Structure 1
Amino acid sequence: MVNLLLGYQLNQFGLVPRTTSHFTAIFYWSFLHGSLDHLLTNSIPFTILGLLVAVRGSYYFFLTTLFISITSGIVVWLFGRTAIHIGASVLIYGYFGFLISRAWFDRQPLSLIIALIVVITYSGLIFGLFPSTQQISWEGHLAGLISGSLMAWLLCKQKPTKKQLQE
């Protein structure tokens, strides 16, 4: 909303690959949006998929969100095309990859049910993984999907503590 009030002037601080002055954007690039429409388009899937990630607790939600944003930011900074990359779609794709991969790795009934719902509802996201227009960061989408899948694998390898399960 601050970016909207400032006429989207904060977007100049988005992630620009291989530019050292924009490297710190990996910490916030997924929270900048190019327009109100861009923000609103991302809001519903971000909320729904984010809530499904949060089913396991706030610890998993915050850890997963941070991991996806930073890891995919590093990947885009290293390999993305020269452009300003912004938007929560990286998190949407990350949550999508996380939820499906989580079901694959842990094979628990809850994870499988959630993954089935996600695949049925959001399978159209697959088309965003391919270059279509200059305004869409397909690199961010792909990096988000990979980062979310990697996070699911990492979390399935560790056993949660009692404190994490209670949060």
Structure 2
Amino acid sequence: MVGGVTILTFVALLYVIEAVDVVLNHRLDQDGIRPLQTDGLWGILWAPLLHGGWPHLIANTVPALVLGFLMTLAGMSRFVIATAIIWVLGGLGTWLIGNIGAHCPYLGVTCTTNHIGASGLIFGWLAFLIVFGFFSRKVWEIVVGVVVLFVYGGVLLGVVPGTPGVSWQGHLCGAVAGVFAAYVVSGPERKARALRKTGGPAPFPA
């Protein structure tokens, strides 16, 4: 229940921000991730909240609702930690490699791209859900990962270059951050398995 409300609130916030952006003639979109520019680092905080128009936001809505809700099933604390890792590390990765493959129409002109949209976060959630069960070794989480892979696995093609105007760099960095987040938040289960292998006592929650 709390997870569903949290995700609905987050997506509703995206729509409110896009409405404000439209009123401001899309000036907010300039606050995305601008790779290798110092002031572009602020975009790491704002980019997942910004979209390049209603079609962009609508395309991200259903995946955000579905994958975001599934993320909360692992527990709200883990959802918050994993989302923070994906948000920051995925954004930082995009800031570092976001200009790779950018088209420069004139020689000698430095390419600068501007990355916005929740898709990097969504790719992070997707990757997290696919691998988390294999880290935690919980059957139901493995089942969730397999189902998510079956339903959304084709989306992972978005991590490779190909579609002009689509931030494959953001998708790739988000996915990598999602795998890392799954490893980090599965720490208690991994430690418990290690203790069982060495014959030590299983951790007892306080």
- TM-score (norm. length: structure 2): 0.74
Kept in 2, the 8 Å contact 1:15–1:77? The answer is yes
Sequence identity (%): 34
SS of 2:74's partner is coil
Instruction: Name segments (4+ residues, structure 1) moved above 3 Å.
Output: 158-163
Cα drift, residue 162 of structure 1 = 5.8
- Counterpart for residue 41 of structure 1: 59
CA RMSD of aligned residues (A): 1.8
- Counterpart for residue 79 of structure 2: 61
1:72-151 to structure 2, matched below 5 A, reads 72-81=90-99, 82-151=112-181
Partners of 1:26 and 1:113 lie apart in 2 by 32
User: Which is bigger in relative contact order (C-alpha 8 A, separation at least 6)?
Assistant: 1
Kept in 1, the 8 Å contact 2:136–2:186? The answer is yes
AA of the residue aligned to 1:23: L
Match of 2:47 among 29, 32, 35: 29
Select the structure of larger CA radius of gyration: 2
Partners of 2:27 and 2:134 lie apart in 1 by 41
Unmatched 5+ residue regions in structure 1? none
Partners of 2:188 and 2:41 lie apart in 1 by 30
Unmatched 5+ residue regions in structure 2? 1-17, 100-111, 190-202
Partners of 2:77 and 2:164 lie apart in 1 by 35
How many residues matched?
163
Partners of 2:76 and 2:22 lie apart in 1 by 28
Match of 1:153 among 170, 178, 183: 183
